[in-house]
Amino acid sequence: MNLPGAIPAIYTLEDSIGKAGGFIEEGAFRYDMLNDHQNSGGYQIAICSEDCTAVIKKVVYNAATNTFTGFSTPLVNGIPVTRSFQTNSFDELKAWFENKDRAEYLNIHMIQPLVAFNPYSSPFLLAAYGINNNFKATDVLNRWIWTFEKSKKSNVRIVAFATDCDPRYLLSMRLATGFFAKCLNTSICNRNDVLDIDLPKNWSSWFFMRNRQLFLCFQDPTHLCTKLRNRILSKKAKMLIGKEQVSIEVLIELLETKSKFVHGLVKTDIEPKDRQNFTSCLKLSSNDVLTALEDINNSKATQVYLRLLRSIVIAYIEHDTSIIDRIYHGWFAVFLCRIWQTWLGIIDDTYILEYGANNKKDLFITTPAHFSIELNAHSLLAVCLLVSQQKLPHSALSISNYSSQPCEATFRLTRSISGVFSSVVNFTTDQFLKRAGKLSVLTDIENKSESGLLECSLQFPKHHKRRKANAKKTSASNKIVDLPSYDTIENIIHRSFNDAYNVLSQLEMNTVLQRKKKTTIFEVSSFTRSQFEKISKIVSYDEYEIYSSDDESNDEPDADVNLSLKDDEENSSEDEDNLSSISASGKCQFRGMRVTDTIPPSLSKSYFCVEIDKKKKFMHKQTACWLLTDNKAALSSDRLTRVQQSNR
């Protein structure tokens, strides 16, 4: 049956999606849309996460904004400059192709609302833009402060920023929180809107973070777990805990001697090709594996290490963990590492030679992983104290949301949005912006439907595992949280230290610790503080690089962002006496190409006026991109190969 006009045209659908909030411009932070999202969701606080992924390095023309997308977005004070690649000159575009970097990665910022009693609060895509690897920790810090300021004007208080363990992001977190790092010429804690954490004086012996914070910082616990798991697989590291080494051979022996019914492991869990496979972390740290390892000789050190991994999962990833258990497991991991590091620091150097290690650092977890464990535990306790002191609402206790997984989920979902006749899972920067716009509208409809906010409820099909995860979220969000008192928290902290000390004493660490008088929480923490102070960072940069909200005019909120945005009239003026000359080797017909003799005035911005074989022609800007592209960029569909390609 033919029903002409019953199905809207693609352009009509795209226009409707754009009006519904699906239009996303590269480098533009959608604070106006964030304000609408905040009004519909009814939240006041949120987590801002940031992450990047590899993209196909291809430059295309975007007619909606009259810009070329696919180049690396310039950063000013860490803030992306929008529409910086606009031109009406073919020669200028050619110079960009020759001299400007293509974007290797796509960087996105997600806002995760913290809403009490609503597990279906959808994350919001704040911004997306192509970048390369040339940025500094101070760029990240400036961008975070700017994002905090702008979000606050949209009635959203950013409680914390969450990223993966990239060294620049980690240093930015340390600078922001003052965690053994200091930024000269600026101080972000001397403001009226900082969060002031009331701490008992005696806690300063083991609590290292300053008590005035503009926002907190969390390293993504999923990435942290994979880092710890990968440390076992490292050929260089030979982690030593007391009298035993953490060994993958112990796990191999478990597979060979025990039934899979007992431990549930397979070989790829122990020797994964994909080093970011989080599922294997969960399986390795399960109670079944820890119980099964008790029957394996010389496995105690490996058990302790897997217990460290398990504590991080319980503290930050599982949805149904109580606040008391989160504090206990978060600080159990901290004290386990502190005691371990203290023991390594005081043993004789001759002792480590027996294990073939040239450096004590090879016998311990990596420094970024150690800082991440410390930062997360301090930020976790800070959130609990701020809620207890009524400086943050109860919704801030949704600790499992303090991660960069909304970014990862957005990347996965965007890769899945491709045509039914296409198996390509990767995307260019322009393709991501278009797909993410559709995804944001679809996600908003789905979450409103799940929350019962739509008049006509829609039932979206879900995998049974996803339904179980949502059920856990619902159960956790509906629980009434009893906040622990100061005395209770202090008891939890001391219990976690004592348990960590007793666990490590089973590997005969206590003998050396007692001899060197490093047995109390104060003595161990004092040694750890001294080690951190040795690698403390002091970062200095010129004053013009520092973003300050006081320097920003309320009448011109986007002045910093649009520094290189050209005037439309300047762009539209073209000196026709100096046309770009292009050789077509005598070809006079351009079938299938948008090269014409005349164009309507309404389309003049989308075409270059050029001279082809001494004849005046109008060439569409996308055709110009095709002409200047000399190779076909590709990115592997296999995740492991894709990561290896992007790291070259």
Identify whether 18 is part of a domain: no
**In terms of residue numbers, what domain contains 579?**
574-648
Read off the pLDDT of each residue in 383-403 and give the average, rounded to a whole number.
Answer: 95
Residues 41 and 95 in one domain: yes
The CA-atom distances, in angstroms, between 179 and each of 112, 116, 147, 170, 407 are 24, 30, 21, 10, 25
Which contiguous run of DSSP H or E holds residue 612?
strand 607-612
Question: Which long-range contacts does 35-41 make (Cβ < 8 Å, 24+ apart)?
Answer: 35/154, 35/155, 37/111, 37/113, 37/124, 37/444, 38/113, 38/154, 38/155, 38/156, 39/155, 40/448, 40/453, 41/113, 41/115, 41/121, 41/122
Query: What does pTM read for this prediction?
Result: 0.87
In this predicted structure, what is the pLDDT of residue 317?
96
Q: Do 511 and 362 lie in a common domain?
A: yes
Q: Closest Cα partner for 445 from 108, 17, 9?
A: 17
Task: Give dist(CA 365, CA 373) in Å, integer.
Answer: 11
The whole-number pLDDT of residue 221 equals 97
Residues 237 and 321 occupy one common structural domain: yes
Type of residue at 305: Y
Given the DSSP bridges, would you call strands 537-539 and 212-213 parallel, antiparallel or unpaired? unpaired
Instruction: Return d(Cα 66, Cα 56) in angstroms, integer.
Output: 21
Tell me the residue type at 1.
Answer: M
In-domain check, residue 334? yes
On the question of pLDDT at 172 being above 80, the answer is yes
| All residues at 6 or more sequence positions from 249 whose CB lies less than 8 Å from its CB, including other chains | none
The DSSP symbol for 290 reads H
Q: Are residue 192 and residue 278 in the same domain, yes or no? A: no
More confident residue, 473 or 632: 632
3 within some domain: no
Same domain assignment for residues 485 and 355: yes
Residue 625, H or E segment: helix 621-628
pLDDT digit string, tens, across residues 70-83? 999 999 989 999 99
Which of 453, 474, 495 lies at the terminal end of a domain, its last residue?
A: 474
8 Å CB contact between 594 and 619:
yes
pLDDT of residue 483 exceeding 50: yes
- Phi/psi at 106 (nearest 5 deg)? -110, 120
* Token pair for 464: 């049974």
The verdict on 450 and 383 lying in the same domain is no
What are the pLDDT digits (tens) for 208-243?
A: 999 999 999 999 999 999 999 999 887 777 899 999
Closest-CA residue to 86 (of 595, 572, 499): 572
* 492 and 524 co-located in one domain: yes
- CA dist., res. 437 & res. 345, Å (int): 52
Same domain as 492, residue 532: yes
**What pLDDT score does 615 carry?**
86
Residues 304 and 425 grouped into a single domain: no
Range 290-310 average pLDDT: 95
Number of structural domains the chain divides into? 3
- pLDDT-derived band of residue 613, with 50, 70 and 90 as boundaries? confident
**Quick one: DSSP state of residue 246?**
-
> pLDDT-based confidence at 115, cuts 50/70/90?
confident
Tokens (6 digits) for 412: 């996965």
Of the pLDDT bands very low, low, confident and very high (cuts 50, 70, 90), residue 185 is confident
> In the predicted model, what is the mean pLDDT of the chain?
85
Q: Within this chain, do residues 424 and 507 fall inside the same structural domain, yes or no?
A: no
What pLDDT band is residue 276 in, cutting at 50, 70 and 90?
confident
Q: What is the 3-state secondary structure (H, E, C) of 136-149?
A: CHHHHHHHHHHHHH
Does 562 reside within a domain?
Answer: no
Please tell me the distance from the alpha carbon of residue 569 to that of residue 321, in angstroms, as a whole number.
59
**What pLDDT is recorded for position 612?**
87
- Indicate the DSSP class of residue 577: G
253 and 243 within one domain: yes
Residue 568 lies inside a defined structural domain of this protein: no
Q: Which domain-ending residue is among 539, 555, 584? A: 539
13: left (phi over 0), alpha (psi -120 to 50) or beta: alpha
Beta bridge partners of 109: 50, 127
- On whether both 95 and 162 belong to a single domain, the answer is yes
CA dist 338 and 335 (Å) reads 5
Domain boundary among 474, 496, 512: 474
Please choose, from the candidates 588, 627, 621, the residue with its C-alpha nearest in 3D space to the C-alpha of residue 606.
Answer: 621
What gap in Å lies between CA 497 and CA 412, rounded to an integer? 39
- Domain membership of residue 565 (yes or no) is no
